[in-house]
Structure 1
Amino acid sequence: MDTPTSGTVLITDEFIASLAERAGRAEELRQLPAETIRDATDSGLLDLLIPSRFGGLEAPFPEILDHVRRLAHGCTSSAWTLGFYTLHGWITALFSEAAQEEAFADRPYLAPAPLAPTGTAEPRDGGFSVSGRWSWATGIMEANWVMVGAIVTGDRPDAVLALLPIDDARVEDVWHTDGMRATGSNDVVVENAFVPAHRTVRVRDLYAGRTPGATLHDNYSYRWPMVPALALLAAMPALGTAERVADLYAARLSERVLAYQMVKQKDKPAARIRLGDARIRLQALRGLLAQTTATIDEILAAGGTVDIRTRAQARLAAARIVNESRAVIGTLLEASGASVHFLDHPMQRARRDVDVLSGHVVFDYDEIREIAASLEIGMEISPFAMV
């Protein structure tokens, strides 16, 4: 089996700075500015995980994680949206060859994927009739395709992910939130759209890493199980944002004069302690990330299958990264004074974005700790558990 090759993606300091400069406008637009999509396309990011046979870079899966973490140093919402566009190129590579030929003919390939099976797929000759309403469709405002989760009706219950051209869907503007506004995560509605069988894949196969694309592409990156892939990718905007907040806090220490005290904040030992504490906590999270991805990659490189306990541990690692990143941001803002809460200050936007981001179901910290512990001691878990 081929070893994944490295992609060529240019996430420059200028690209990150441009995201920071546009962050306020992106928030007002409630979607990514056109320049951001153009910059991401030019950088090669959106092609990173698309197979080489379809003109992509076919990079090792973990490469996307570092790119998205760095993009969050510019804008959390933009990093989240661009990261998911890139991840969804990888998910599309898990469908049949015919589906990939159709979808990857459109570039840049922009396919939101509200995965929760809140729709139905009624069997028809050669495919399914798909209907439903899906929330949290990140990036839907710029989309040319969309993937939706649906329950197959009939006597044999199953769940599928269906791939549709965006013309088969309708967007409803509901994304009025206090954070992650630039993701444009509006609702998407589909009414009786026919989806041929080759543009569907069973959810259970996605979870286990046993998809049509896993055998089509002789590259173990396409055998990564979906939940660890999704959870770790989704955690990167939180980690990168916490790193950026630590940088901003460090810069403020030398500049900020404390009101009524007339001393610089850097002269306060407690202020320096918070910075030192933040740096070591973030370093520990990067170590947890590296260990988690290496474990999965080593299993796959050896031709193995990632078992459910390992998948649960990966989701737990992702939830820990988000939980701790959020806590680091909170403790640094506590010591930053009221001025960081002006709407044009990046630190307040960082906190709002990560607060909203952390509400994603994959980061339910209580649930995944319970699931991981149950599996460790041999207890049964729900067949619907997201692992």
Structure 2
Amino acid sequence: MPDDVLTKVRELLPSIAERAHVVDDSRRVPDQTVQDLAAAGVFRMLQPARHGGLECDPLRFYEVVREISGACGSTGWVTSILGVHSWHLGLFDPQAQDDVWGQDDSTLLSSSYAPVGELVPVDGGFRLSGSWRFSSGCEHATWALLGALVVGAEGRPVDFMTVLVPRSDYRIQDVWDVVGMRGTASNEITVDNAFVPHHRTVRNYDLAQLRAPGHAVNPGPLFRLPFAAIFTTAVAAPVIGTVAGCYEQYLGAMRDRVRLSLGGGRFAEDQFAQVAVARAASEIDAAILQTDRNIRELYELAVAGQPLPTRLRLRLRRDQVRGTERAVEAIDLLFKTSGGNSLGRGNPVERAWRDAHAGSVHVANDPERALAMYGRGAFGLPVEDNLI
């Protein structure tokens, strides 16, 4: 049950926090951490019940992700990404789900959704080639979900698909050495002319229209939700959780600190510090409350079997990117008011500041595109985009 998962995860948080510096330095989440999270049931939260999953309310999953991210941003990010793929696979043809989970329902998947691959139609499916960057947690997965364009007879793209590829058909190149979210090991995946059968593909347009082959065997409300809502929230939740966790650590560290300059005195008694804390707390609360509200409303409609209005789907995207922006604004305030103490390498505030900024540049967290879509909808203009 989801409550049991949260309880077990909270027991793991001290060890996850203790390993945070190792994750940052080694550029990957330890296998032991992933095994612990798997044993706690985190990766089953959004997995179809027919394949051993909990198929729970997505709000519970995002709550777990935020708590993990508060202890270690990279671990929270990898958890969220690997966990949301269990949901995405549930939208694929039943045979594809059986291919992955038929022998082992604990199998994990990574992804890289950018349409940089090339699909050439052949008998029974396609031939796939390409190189994809930013596949978070790929070393912990044995299948990958990859974005690709179908190439027509004239060499022009005619469709955009996500395809499912086994580990035996791709190689991983260790290229991830970055400023923030260092431990996500978001390395590069390369495929050379691998065969992909039809049942391991889905059209992105169909998913945006809430049509999926997996609905035949996964009829529950969880799988009636839009891909854009579930996935983009999964890349916002770790950023928000990272900052929320840092805020609590910040209060504990700064409460009794005495300034050695600017007249001295306790930091907590400085009115400007108090205002900064209030602003940061408000931004974090707003980010959580709005993102949770939208997911809750979508899920309640799905449970009731009601249509999911475009207005709500656009509002979710608006608040998801604003939630990420708010988290970044909050961590900037905390970083700035920490003074020189926040500059030390590995300092929790410094690491959270790097992680939040790194997570915010994911394309799904790009505010301009999502806000423009919302504005078009608000003015009554048509909005055609797969990410709503």
- Identity fraction in percent: 30
* Native 8 Å contact 1:130 1:191 kept in 2: yes
What residue in structure 2 maps to residue 213 of structure 1?
214
1:297 aligns with 2:299: yes
Q: State the secondary structure of the residue aligned to 1:252.
A: helix
Indicate which of 336, 339, 342 corresponds to 1:337. 339
Indicate which of 279, 282, 292 corresponds to 1:280. 282
Range moving further from structure 2, 34-43 or 270-279: 270-279
1:68 aligns with 2:65: yes
Q: State the secondary structure of the residue aligned to 2:318.
A: helix
Q: State the secondary structure of the residue aligned to 2:120.
A: strand
Q: CA deviation at 1:369?
A: 1.0
Gap runs ≥5 in structure 2: none
Range moving further from structure 2, 116-125 or 271-280: 271-280
* Native 8 Å contact 1:220 1:300 kept in 2: yes
Matched ranges for 1:184-195 at <5 A: 184-195=185-196
**1-structure distance, mates of 2:328, 2:347:** 18
**2-structure distance, mates of 1:128, 1:212:** 18
What residue in structure 2 maps to residue 127 of structure 1?
125
- For residue 206 of structure 2, what is the amino acid of its counterpart? D
What residue in structure 2 maps to residue 173 of structure 1?
174
Matched ranges for 1:65-214 at <5 A: 65-104=62-101, 105-154=103-152, 157-214=158-215
TM-score computed with the length of structure 1 as normaliser: 0.94
- For residue 115 of structure 2, what is the amino acid of its counterpart? P
- For residue 281 of structure 2, what is the amino acid of its counterpart? R
Residue by residue, what CA displacement relative to the aligned partner does 1:1-53 show, whole Å, maximum 9, x if unpaired?
xxxx8574144333112111111111222111111111111111111111121
Count of matched residue positions in the alignment of Structure 1 and Structure 2:
382
Residue by residue, what CA displacement relative to the aligned partner does 1:136-189 show, whole Å, maximum 9, x if unpaired?
101112221111011111168111111111110011221110111110001111
Q: CA deviation at 1:313?
A: 1.8
What residue in structure 2 maps to residue 225 of structure 1?
226
Q: State the secondary structure of the residue aligned to 1:112.
A: strand
* Native 8 Å contact 1:7 1:58 kept in 2: no
Gap runs ≥5 in structure 1: none
What residue in structure 2 maps to residue 386 of structure 1?
387
Q: State the secondary structure of the residue aligned to 1:333.
A: helix
Judged with a 3 Å threshold, the aligned counterparts in structure 2 of structure 1 residues 307 and 153 are, in CA distance, closer, same or farther, namely farther
**1-structure distance, mates of 2:216, 2:311:** 23
TM-score computed with the length of structure 2 as normaliser: 0.94
Judged with a 3 Å threshold, the aligned counterparts in structure 2 of structure 1 residues 6 and 340 are, in CA distance, closer, same or farther, namely closer
Residue by residue, what CA displacement relative to the aligned partner does 1:267-294 show, whole Å, maximum 9, x if unpaired?
2122122222222332222221222112
Q: Supply the RMSD in Å over aligned alpha carbons.
A: 1.7
**1-structure distance, mates of 2:214, 2:3:** 19
- For residue 291 of structure 1, what is the amino acid of its counterpart? R
**2-structure distance, mates of 1:126, 1:168:** 17
What residue in structure 1 maps to residue 21 of structure 2?
24
Judged with a 3 Å threshold, the aligned counterparts in structure 2 of structure 1 residues 56 and 201 are, in CA distance, closer, same or farther, namely same
What residue in structure 2 maps to residue 268 of structure 1?
270
What residue in structure 2 maps to residue 37 of structure 1?
34
Range moving further from structure 2, 235-244 or 7-16: 7-16
**1-structure distance, mates of 2:79, 2:207:** 21
Matched ranges for 1:233-382 at <5 A: 233-260=234-261, 261-381=263-383
